[in-house]
Amino acid sequence: MASEQTASAYIQHHLQNLTFGHLPTSGWGFAHDAAQAKEMGFWAFHVDTLGWSVALGLIFILIFRMAAKKATSGQPGALQNFVEVLIEFVDGSVKDSFHGRSAVIAPLALTIFVWVFLMNAVDLVPVDWIPHLAMLATGDSHIPFRAVSTTDPNATLGMALSVFALIIFYSIKVKGVGGFIGEMTLHPFGSKNIFLQALLIPVNFLLEFVTLIAKPISLALRLFGNMYAGELVFILIAVMFGSGLLWLSGLGVVLQWAWAVFHILIITLQAFIFMMLTIVYLSMAHEENH
């Protein structure tokens, strides 16, 4: 980078999503800068996040469908071995952490783990490659394009809210509407005195409501924060390559490989944590508190 201002513009460009929405002045279209993206408001779409999320989800489906079609009881191939090990690992995690009975939890956990891992793994691609491909494909040398969907809070919060909807659904299904309301208002403080119990209802509801809402927020922000920080480190290392200083570029090569190796652990761990918290939260939703 020729100057600090250029480095700052480079970082801002790589942290901006390809946004499609409605501008009051020019109608529907793509945002050319962060100010226009902000002006589009709530109903703007992050096209890069949506596109990569769907594409990686389809890749996951195709790979597992291919493994299922080629599955054999004889000597399995490398793909079948890999899928079987992965399924056994997820199934073991579900059996250890989920104490209810549901045919949905294990497939859901497998989908979450593989899908989140694939979205995280895109962060290992050099930060300039995919944006440059987007520039070549569109002919626009200034188009922003972020490929790591989990660095977008909209994606992580969307997945977390989907899990949250399942938590509410199973809580009501297992405990009934009355049981769910009772869980939200009669715990953790209780009393045999009806008048005192009525006074405790607002306090119980406040505590339980905060605990309930914290589940999707913690799911979303934990994944987003870790992946966003990892992407930012890769971008800062990339700035070192454009410094024009040979020694700084050499240091950037070393840091790039060191951080990439360490980041493999991060992307796997974050996918595992998201999956395990989902299992635990759904297990809690299946428990009846009398």
Annotated catalytic residue within 97, 154, 162, 222: 222
* 3-state SS class at 103: coil
Per-residue confidence band for 244, with pLDDT thresholds at 50, 70 and 90:
low
| Residue 163 neighbours by CB under 8 Å, 6+ apart | 215, 216, 219, 278, 281, 282
The more confidently predicted of residues 274 and 253 is: 274
- Would the pLDDT of 2 be above 50? no
Per-residue confidence band for 289, with pLDDT thresholds at 50, 70 and 90:
low
What pTM did the predictor assign? 0.90
The overall average pLDDT reported for the chain is: 90
Whole-number pLDDT of residue 4: 46
Verify whether residue 222 is a known catalytic residue.
Answer: yes
How far is Cα 50 from Cα 208, in angstroms, rounded to an integer? 33
Q: If you ran DSSP here, which 8-state letter would residue 26 be given?
A: T
Q: If you ran DSSP here, which 8-state letter would residue 30 be given?
A: E
Instruction: Give one DSSP letter per residue of 142-185, joined into a string.
Output: T------GGGSHHHHHHHHHHHHHHHHHHHHHHHHHHHHHHHHH
Q: If you ran DSSP here, which 8-state letter would residue 43 be given?
A: T
**Terminal alpha carbon distance of the chain:** 64
- Would the pLDDT of 89 be above 90? yes
Q: How many percent of the chain have pLDDT more than 70?
A: 96
pLDDT tens-digit series, residues 158-180: 999 999 999 999 999 999 999 99
Mean pLDDT of 186-212: 88
Quote the distance between the C-alpha of residue 122 and its chain's center: 13
Crossing angle of helices 153-185 and 246-286, rounded to 10°: 30
Whole-number pLDDT of residue 1: 42
Instruction: Give one DSSP letter per residue of 113-153, joined into a string.
Output: HHHHHHHHHGGGS-TTHHHHHHHHHHS-TT------GGGSH
How far is Cα 34 from Cα 258, in angstroms, rounded to an integer? 32
Q: Which residue has the tokens 């073991």?
A: 92
Annotated catalytic residue within 191, 218, 249, 289: 218
The torsion of the CA quartet 25, 30, 36, 42, rounded to 10 degrees, works out to 100
CB atoms closer than 10 angstroms to residue 225: 14
Verify whether residue 65 is a known catalytic residue.
Answer: no
CA-based nearest residue to 171, from 274, 290, 275, 283: 283
Verify whether residue 283 is a known catalytic residue.
Answer: no
CA-based nearest residue to 278, from 113, 50, 58: 113
